[in-house]
Copies of this chain bind each other. A is one copy, B any other.
């Protein structure tokens, strides 16, 4: 179930129609990281709070917490650290949390650069949009 939730998270982050590559990295045993998890970590970094990040992304605190917990259990090192004494900004990313974001964004950028010619050929082959074509 935990992994299904994060797959949903990837879909939920699509607020406007996506453009370009959508990438999840699978590890062969059901574990994976994708754009939903990474966006949550980036929002925790800026909000310094899981609760505020959840609100900013329109998800429940419980859901955000479960996602963070799942990411944390997938890797050897924690991705966030909490400071219970602080009011408000009680959560920061760990250096490994930062590294996870950097690696994922690097994978996206390197993949986009490497496949640009092929993607451009696909775009050039698209039909003009008609009224009958449904848009997400």
A residues bordering B, Cβ < 8 Å?
1-4, 7, 11, 17-33, 73-77, 96, 99-100, 103-104, 106-107, 110-111, 113-115, 118-119, 121-123, 125-127, 129-130, 132-136
Contact = CB atoms under 8 A, between A and B. Distances in A.
Contact of A3 (B115, B122, B134): B134
23 contacts: A2-B134, A3-B134, A7-B11, A17-B30, A19-B27, A20-B25, A21-B25, A21-B107, A22-B24, A27-B126, A29-B129, A30-B135, A30-B136, A31-B126, A33-B122, A73-B132, A73-B133, A77-B125, A100-B125, A103-B118, A104-B118, A110-B115, A111-B114
Q: How many copies does the complex hold?
A: 2
